[in-house]
Amino acid sequence: MEPDVRVGFRGYGPRVRDSPSGSGASNLARLGLAAFVLVWLFGPSSLRAVVPIWVPFLVALGLELQFFLTAWRAEPGTTMPDRRPQEIDRELYGYPPEPDEPGEDDDDAHDDYDDEEDEEWEPAPEPRRSLPLRNLVLGVGVIAALAALAWIVDSRSGWGGLDDRTQAVAEERFSAEASRIAEREVEIRCDESGERVGFVQHTDGVAEVGGRLAYLAPDRCHELYRLAFDGETTGTTGRAIAVLAHEAWHLRGVRDEGETQCYALQSGVDVGQRLGLSEDEARRLMRRELSANAGRGTSFEYFVGPECRDGGELDLDTGASDFP
């Protein structure tokens, strides 16, 4: 008589430890990095103004090193599943063995099957040391490729994408606006190297109080250029105008940061109009900068005080009702 063999689902249960290579988390981190860099490059300019491009690459490099060290220190293992019938399958469905040769005694064959099942199945572990190193090389390669893409796009766009002649003309225009506020001839330069502001120092501008030279971050210069020469505005155009006026007031001799910022927001209305904005639009942008001043996350010294209001001690035009 043929044995009663029932067919059922064979569960695949792991029998040994998995190697914690971190490949899943590492791949997610790489995808997240790639998405962020693309948004940073082609998304809103306000993101580039807030987050320096080196921040995500530094975070990504730290994650890659963490994944590498975690996987390197872990004991080698294997991810091969046990594809034999599991215990619950045997209890439900059986799986009696078939004789290897005709005429072989069924009882002996069944005993042999049980003996084989009782043996502990331990697959030989595969060498895993090369996997963490391979993942690290892959991760660093992705970071390097994205960094190269960011550098190429940034060098061909923004302030760095303008030729030297165009940059010189724009800086001359910015200097003229600053000279109006300082009430004497001063000079505005855009610090493309990042040594004083911008990429390295992560500040929008710097000026010596009472001096004749101020530096602006390249992003702020490019926003001013787009307004003055292309008639375009962005979400941070108001901030760029305020930065230009702020540094001009420092050149005029005002030292206190909060007082300087209050004067800059008032002067920014006229600066915005001369650069191409309507009066209503320029005033709206400066009012938005004033309302955002307390919540921008800057140090306390830059916050404007209660006297920065219509009719207050810092009001530059007490005869007008509009402020700033």
Confidence at residue 44, expressed as pLDDT on a 0 to 100 scale: 66
Confidence at residue 194, expressed as pLDDT on a 0 to 100 scale: 74
Q: Measured between alpha carbons, how far is 171 from 165 in angstroms, rounded to an integer?
A: 10
- In which residue are the tokens 């306000």 written? 46
pLDDT along the chain (324 residues), means of 10: 44 42 63 76 63 71 74 59 70 64 51 50 54 72 73 69 94 98 97 72 84 94 96 93 97 96 97 97 96 71 89 92 88
* 267: number of Cβ within 10 Å: 25
Confidence at residue 198, expressed as pLDDT on a 0 to 100 scale: 59
Which tokens belong to 199? 């990429």
Which tokens belong to 41? 């490059």
Nearest in space to 183 (alpha carbons), one of 204, 216, 212, 215? 212
Confidence at residue 302, expressed as pLDDT on a 0 to 100 scale: 82
197: Cβ contacts below 8 Å, ≥ 6 apart: 191, 203, 204, 205, 206, 215, 216, 217
Q: Where are the domains of the chain?
A: 23-79+123-155, 87-118, 162-302
* SS3 readout for 165-210: HHHHHHHHHHHHHHHHHHCCCCEEEECCCCCCCCCCCCCCEEECCC
Rounded to 5 degrees, φ, ψ at 80 are -70, 125
